[in-house]
Amino acid sequence: MKIINIVLSIIVVALMYFLYDTINAPIQFNKIREIRYEKISQKLEDIKKAQMAYKEARGVFADDFDKLTNFVKKDTLLVISIIGNPDDTTQVIKRDTSYESALESLFSKDYPVDELAMVPYGNGEKFNISAGEISTNNVKVKVFEVSTSNGVIFSDLEDKDFFDADARFTLGSMFEARFGIKPPLK
């Protein structure tokens, strides 16, 4: 009888552990996902900023990261400063134009621009990037898309049941004039 109680106690403790783990695992994954998605969103905002400056300077979006990072590292951007109050009609307004390093204008001189293409938590994987032109309402629009998959974002996790590995995290679109960030649904 004593042995049966000991065995049953061990089984109860094991079941409690498995129940706890079953409940806690998705909660822990959601915390990890939230942190990673936030970091990726920040990186995609930086890429968007660089792409918009590239288009302003070149008339098209960069279709690879070598072009985009070289632009940020080596090019300059036109900076227009307004001196005076443009809302005050009695005041003389001066416009001062100058050029500033694209890197310092967009980010800071210490920004790791060589890591712009790298997916945070992606174990060295790079974002996919493409650019082109679409026609919408008989108007040609320049577009770009930067993306990665959940499979890359969560490649280091053992339990793959909490996410769709093929779901895409994207910035922009090659099919519509949209420049926002779209996280995966799952």
- Tell me: the pLDDT tens digits for 95-132? 777 778 889 889 988 999 999 999 999 999 999 999 99
Q: What is the domain partition of the chain in residue ranges? A: 37-74+106-182
pTM: 0.81
With contact defined as beta carbons under 8 Å apart, do 130 and 174 qualify? yes
What residues form DSSP beta bridges with 82? 95
Q: What is the dihedral of CA 183, 175, 165, 30, to 10 degrees?
A: 10
Q: Is 70 helix (H, G, I), strand (E, B) or coil?
A: helix
Q: What is the pLDDT of residue 62?
A: 96
Of 63-72, 75-84, 140-149, which gets the smallest average pLDDT? 75-84
Mean pLDDT, the chain, as a whole number?
Answer: 87
Is residue 22 predicted with pLDDT exceeding 70? Answer: no
Beta bridge partners of 96: 81
Confidence of residue 77 (pLDDT cuts 50, 70, 90): confident
Amino acid at 23: I
Average pLDDT value for residue range 62-67: 96
- Lowest average pLDDT, out of 39-48, 75-84, 155-164, goes to 75-84
Helix (H) or strand (E) segment spanning residue 58:
helix 2-58
pLDDT at 60 over 90: yes
In this structure, which long-range contacts are made by residues 175-180, counting pairs with CB atoms below 8 Å and at least 24 apart in sequence?
175/134, 175/143, 176/134, 176/136, 176/143, 177/134, 177/136, 177/141, 177/143, 179/48, 179/52, 179/144
pLDDT(50) > 60: yes
